[in-house]
Amino acid sequence: MKKRRIACLHAHYSNIEYIENALSEYSIELVHFVDPGLIHRVTNDQNFHQYQAQQKVKEQIEWIAQCGVDAILITCTNYIALLEENPTNLPIIKIDEPYFEIICSINKPQTMVFSNPETVKGTMNRLYQYAETHNRTIDIEVAIIENSFSLLMQGKKDEYQKEIVKFLKQLPTDRIISVAQLSMVAAARQVEGETGKVIIHPLNSLVGEVKKRILE
């Protein structure tokens, strides 16, 4: 079977390892593109407007599509929220959609945890839109781990993970917990291993989506 080439667009280098490990056993060649600059500017530059960010993401996708790949995987929820439509003829896999499918299939109170506050609005808008489109009702609240995402952006990966682990461990056990960002998966898995508490994350369903969209 010919190897399929998937281009991955990330907002941070730490996401590469997650995707490589998740898809390592399949006949896939991954080509990674990383641009933390856009998210940094969206977060810190008040004069950088949404339409400019949307245009930047569109240009990134168009450029990546010309690099001889069979599909594009976007791992950043901010990038996904900014991409209004597919500007290419390639399949685009959005990491949050299979994650949303899991969230929307749960009929219990849930807490969705974020480390990057700038990701919340776009992600939740997309989640509620997904739930409405698929005629689902969800009971969900948002929790933000304040002042943690800056640690990751500074390259302090271990400190970042410690903050996520600490926060997840103190959450009440009567709600279904999920983490919305790929950068939080390692911490979620650590807490699962140490406490037995199940924590949903975007990698739970990504492999199945890739197999369905690209390999089958």
Domains of the chain by range and CATH? 4-95+204-215 (3.40.50.1860), 97-202 (3.40.50.1860)
d(CA 57, CA 27): 28
Phi, psi of 102 (to 5 degrees): -65, -50
CA distance 93 to 71: 8
Q: In one letter, which amino acid is 181?
A: Q
CA 29-33-35 angle, to 5 degrees, is 160
In the predicted model, what is the mean pLDDT of residues 80-91? 89
| Residue 43 pLDDT exceeds 90 | no
Burial of residue 213 (number of CB atoms within 10 Å: 0-12, 13-18, 19+): middle
Lay out the sheet containing 110-114: strands in order across: 140-144, 110-114, 176-179, 199-200
**Closest alpha carbon to 182 in 6, 7, 16, 54:** 16
Given this model, what pLDDT does residue 204 score? 82
Nearest CA-CA partner of 69 in 6, 122, 162: 6
Query: What does the block give as tokens for 69?
Result: 């790949």
pTM of the model: 0.87
Q: What is the pLDDT of residues 112-149, one digit of tens each?
A: 999 988 889 889 999 999 999 999 999 999 999 999 98
pLDDT at 1: 58
pLDDT of 85 reads 87
The torsion angles phi and psi of 205, rounded to 5 degrees, stand at -120, 0
> Among the listed ranges 32-36, 92-96, 132-136, which one has the minimum average pLDDT value?
32-36
